[in-house]
């Protein structure tokens, strides 16, 4: 069964001085979230960016995949705190998403540091967002138990 989700963006003006809005159409959970070029390449200034939204998508996808893997191993987590740092940089003449660095802290009864790190590595390799990025974006993960 396929699942389709929808977002919408509206952009006004040229790249450098223009602004836009992005909305979550499927869930309706956010609407008219402001985005701008300067929020991508300089300080956010209260605006979001595609890279921040990608970081959120990667962090949440990874958390779900890690939770599933830990559950299958008989050590379901009480809590996972995941941060994704997506880096957007110029490569040659093109702006490019170059990396997504995942960091996870877990409260996982019955798991040791080695098994937790192995589960985190597997989740990094196999969550759907990671698979979409693989081959184009450097992926890494640091895993620590609480």
pLDDT of residue 90: 96
Closest CA to 89 of 137, 135, 19: 137
Is the entire prediction scored with pTM above 0.85?
A: yes
Q: By three-state DSSP, how is residue 93 classified?
A: coil
What mean pLDDT is predicted for residues 3-29? 97
Tell me how far the alpha carbon of residue 103 is from its chain's centroid.
11
Q: What is the pLDDT of residues 66-125, one digit of tens each?
A: 999 999 999 999 999 999 999 999 999 999 999 999 999 999 999 999 999 999 999 999
Please tell me the class of the 50-145 domain: alpha beta
Q: What is the pLDDT of residues 36-57, one digit of tens each?
A: 999 999 999 999 999 999 999 9
SS3 per-residue string spanning 2-18? CCCCCEEEEEECCCCCC
Domain boundaries, the chain: 7-41, 50-145
Closest CA to 57 of 1, 133, 110: 133
Which tokens belong to 102?
A: 């995942």
Q: By three-state DSSP, how is residue 110 classified?
A: coil
What mean pLDDT is predicted for residues 18-34? 97
């Amino acid at each position: 069964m396929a699942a389709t989700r929808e977002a919408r963006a509206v952009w006004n003006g040229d790249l450098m001085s223009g602004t836009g809005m992005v909305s979550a159409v499927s869930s309706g959970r956010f609407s008219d979230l402001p985005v701008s070029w300067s929020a991508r390449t300089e300080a956010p200034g209260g605006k979001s960016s595609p890279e921040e939204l990608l970081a959120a998508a990667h962090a949440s996808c990874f958390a779900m995949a890690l939770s599933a893997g830990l559950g299958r191993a008989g050590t379901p987590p009480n809590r996972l705190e995941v941060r994704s740092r997506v880096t957007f940089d110029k490569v040659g003449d093109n702006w490019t998403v170059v990396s997504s660095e995942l960091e996870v802290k877990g409260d996982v009864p019955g798991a040791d540091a080695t098994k937790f790190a192995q589960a985190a590595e597997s989740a990094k390799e196999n969550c759907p967002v990671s698979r979409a990025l693989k081959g184009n974006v450097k992926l890494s993960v640091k895993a620590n138990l609480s």
